[in-house]
Amino acid sequence: MYVHVPFCTKKCSYCAFNVSHNGLHLQGDYFKALGAEVLHYLTNGPFELRGVGFDTVYFGGGTPSLVDPSLIADFLASIPLAGGAEVSIEVNPESARRELFTSYVDSGVTRVSIGVQSFDDKVLCYYGRTHDAAGAERAIELAVETEGLSVGIDLVYGSEVEDDKSWSRTVLKTASLATGISHVSAYALGIEKRTKLHYDKAKSQSEDVLAERYLMADEAFEGCGLQNYEISNWACTDGRCRHNANYWSWGDYLGVGLGAHSHFGRSRWWNDPSLKGYIAAVKTQGTGFLAGEELVDSQVEAERLMLALRIQGGLSEKELKTWVSRTESEELLGLFEIVNGRASLKPRGRLLADGVFRALSA
């Protein structure tokens, strides 16, 4: 299950997500709506669990760490969870408090993802973040010290105010923290429509620069024991995010909250993207449902291939050779490494993943 928590104190310059920076006073009503929507699906829809429980729950946003932690606790207590369920929550550094992390563990949260983005204050200012590098380090320290909590951090690279030295500093600082953290996500900056960066006509770095930044991160993270398991994600052996792994393997998931997406079999649907609209929709129809679609064979095949190319061992050797045989590009095989019969893109191959997908699916 994905739970969208839309509240933010302000919107970051790159953010294109459904967020609300002035609706925190509605957090109680919103969580009542979340609970009602889950109950609806468990009793009326395809996610009737028959006593099994959700294997993963992920609170994303927005800034979930802004809301009263008792709302998180009550929500988790109200839903069926499988034994050993992974429960993740996103935390912004400025929200971090020792008692907050302790309350999460007491509620059943097993991992936090801290939105660091950079260890360079100039870059953080450009992104419109409300924390500085020192605050990010302190947040990580508090989380790592919390017994029972797995800690990951998120990074974003490629802004026009970031140079090689800046990114190197962020990468090396991250690597130095690898004894405490178990997961790192690093994403290239994209300038999305309807974001502040888009309106400001900002630019990200060139593809060549982004490629070198990625390879710098990959080498450093692999060198400190964090293995790449998806193009933009590195983790220690037991630190992989099971929730995201379900997305990448084209698994079923329920999304609740405004703008949240769900997937079951060949069906995909999404919710009303406005805060008041979502709450009203749940009151009248039981869910925030706005629209959906049924996928055809060609869509399923293409999406499965696209996702398989992103993850380590995503294709069997036989599947890879079958896809390549449809093209006239046998040299594509040189971008892959095969281990124990499973095929994965090599580091430089990952940089060309979109092109490899287009070539194989043409």
Cα–Cα distances in angstroms (integers) from residue 110 to residues 113, 242, 321, in the given order: 11, 12, 39
Structural domains in the chain, CATH included, are 2-248 (3.20.20.70), 297-361 (no CATH)
pLDDT score recorded for residue 52: 79
pLDDT at 94 over 90: yes
Reported confidence tier of residue 144, pLDDT bands at 50, 70, 90: very high
pLDDT at 34 over 70: yes
The β-bridge partners of 159 are 204
> Nearest 10 degrees: CA dihedral of 85, 310, 257, 46?
-70
pLDDT score recorded for residue 48: 72
The mean per-residue pLDDT over the stretch 142-162 comes to 98
pLDDT at 174 over 90: yes
298 sits in which H/E element: helix 297-310
132/92 Cα distance (integer angstroms): 11
The mean per-residue pLDDT over the stretch 79-85 comes to 95
pLDDT tens digits, one per residue of 195-245? 999 999 999 899 999 999 999 999 999 999 999 999 999 999 899 999 999
pLDDT score recorded for residue 329: 77
The mean per-residue pLDDT over the stretch 299-322 comes to 96
pLDDT score recorded for residue 50: 64
pLDDT at 327 over 90: no
pLDDT score recorded for residue 310: 97
Q: Average pLDDT, whole number, for the chain?
A: 95
Cα–Cα distances in angstroms (integers) from residue 238 to residues 90, 111, 150, 246, 311, in the given order: 19, 12, 10, 16, 16
pLDDT at 331 over 90: no
Reported confidence tier of residue 356, pLDDT bands at 50, 70, 90: very high
316/284 Cα distance (integer angstroms): 47
Query: Quick one: angle between helices 69-78 and 98-107, nearest 10?
Result: 10
Q: C-alpha 88: how far from its chain's center?
A: 10
